[in-house]
Amino acid sequence: MDDGRKILVIIMDGLGDRAVKSLGHRTPLQCANKPNLDWFAANGTSGIMDIISPGVRPGSDTSHLALLGYDPFKVYTGRGPFEAAGVGLVGKAGDVAFRCNFATVDDRMNVTDRRAGRIKAPDTTELARALDGMRIGDVTAVVKEATEHRAVLMLQGPGLSPYVSDADPHALSAVQSSEPLRPEAALTAEAVNEFVRRSYEVLKDHPVNQRRIAEGLPPANALLPRGAGVFPDIQPFQEKYGMTASGVAGVSLIRGICRVCGLEVIEATGCTGGTDTDMEAKACAALRELERKDFVLMNVKATDIDSHDSDPRRKIESIERLDAMARTIRDNVPAGTVVALAADHCTPVEKGDHSGDPVPLTIYAEDGIRDGVTSYDEVSCARGALGRIRGVDLMPILIDKADRSVKFGA
């Protein structure tokens, strides 16, 4: 299998959408000027993809597991461990990891801004450092900043369990009490609640927040955990597929998924995981990795952020930046490479959150069938020869198109 062709998978995060009223009931993809994405569609084979299954809303974690060919129903243990691995915190047996938001709360612990004005480093670095090492009885809280307003909490100590509910309310409402979902998780729930309470006490008067308030910015005065999990037991990618692999991503969660699955994580200069990311630098990093690896996964986050902000015009602008990136790929990808263009989920701008709609998919190979699709968008790709597949189907299709598949039967 080592003499097969190379594979590049480009995941445009949250790219898919629904009809937007302000855009004349078209999607941002249908409105954007994107000649290079359309070139891949016109010269490739297209379809649509249910990342998990029809109507199921994927998280970015479960979706990327599926796209890498891992059944999330079998290997997913919660988002926290992937976030932790993404920022370099690799836990041991018994440690419980959480994904967190730096948030703004009032003195009654009501959330007024779930992202604290989209605070980012270096402010988050200082705030995380103020919480790191907190002792709660026999439990130690390890805290590290992640992408933008996000952070990771890892609890270490005896008798911990991941079966607790989220303290993060996922809405502008009161901070929730973490509750044990199984009897053995009572200690962990108590530790989470005490951590949240003390995070507010530590952060409310922190110099970073005093400065932010003086500047008219919302303070990041609480850290709200969610997505508890233990580190999963996952077969390494190279062992599973016989391919060397790299992941190019700015978002800590995606880096963590790549790291846990055994992909070498590449952090290119200027790749922030935000809307200001250098897409050209990310494309060049992926192309460099294709010179030495069999498989490269590249994630670009900007369109998902625009969707969560319910900004259709900015999403169109990000798609057009993605198109310029696609030109770099088109002009420089090594001969024979199989290129997949997809999203990890739909994030409709009018919804402002993930949906269970299928995402557009194009697979380009020099000897691939051209199916008559000429535009890369949700409606056009649905007419393509790939039909409608699931996320876990993508890797077997790519492996076969790269001439790396093993015959089934005689």
| Whole-number pLDDT of residue 346 | 97
For residue 2, pLDDT over 60 is answered with no
Mean of pLDDT values over 316-343: 97
Total count of residues recorded for the chain: 410
pLDDT band with cut points at 50, 70 and 90 for residue 233: confident
Q: What are phi and psi of 104, to 5 degrees?
A: -105, 125
The residue-averaged pLDDT of 252-270 equals 90
Residue 303 near residue 322, CB atoms below 8 Å = yes
Q: Which domains does the chain have, with CATH numbers?
A: 7-76+234-401 (3.40.720.10), 83-229 (no CATH)
* pLDDT at residue 270 is higher than 90: no
User: Both tokens of residue 329?
Assistant: 């790929």
The pLDDT mean for the chain works out to: 95
140: left (phi over 0), alpha (psi -120 to 50) or beta: beta
Residues 237, 262 contacting (CB under 8 angstroms): yes
* Residue with the larger pLDDT of the pair 315 and 269: 315
In this predicted structure, the answer to whether residue 205 has a pLDDT above a threshold of 90 is: yes
Name the least confident of 18-32, 84-98, 246-260: 84-98
Distance CA 149, CA 120 (A): 5
User: Which is more confidently placed, 51 or 277?
Assistant: 51
pLDDT higher than threshold 60 for residue 179? yes
Does the pLDDT value for residue 1 go beyond 50? no
**Average pLDDT of 266-293?**
91
CB-CB neighbours of 239 under 10 Å: 8
